[in-house]
Amino acid sequence: MEGVDDSKEYIATRRAMDIVGISSEEQDAIFRVVAAILHLGNIEFAKGKEIDSSMPKDEKSWFHLQTAAELFMCDAKALEDSLCKRLIVTRDETITKSLDPETAALSRDALAKIVYSRLFDW
């Protein structure tokens, strides 16, 4: 935004977090989670190789997926699977169902919303 000095706003935010007793480590974790959520929102999906499957659309989407995984401190393949597949657990077995690109995008958005919500519930 024009007229806003992001660096000053960042410093003011960090100071405010200090004042309310949020440790430096906790602040770093909060900013990591927010950054990961922003990267999640930049992941686009395309049709995968199998019927009704999906995958990150292009190199840009792969970059955002890998960066989000690093920030979440999880495996990139596990994050991809959590967005592009659904696990259905029955009493006798676990079934993995591929998601089409539209459903994968809904999965991405749901993950971003729940993580953001839990950040503030914390």
pTM score: 0.88
- Residue 82 makes CB contacts below 8 A (sequence gap 6+) with 107, 111
The tens-digit pLDDT sequence of the chain (122 residues) is 788 888 999 999 999 999 999 999 999 999 999 999 999 999 999 999 999 999 999 999 999 999 999 999 999 999 999 999 999 999 999 999 999 999 999 999 999 999 999 998 87
Separation CA 117–CA 94 (nearest Å): 28
Class of domain 6-77+94-121: mainly alpha
User: What pLDDT shows up at residue 28?
Assistant: 96
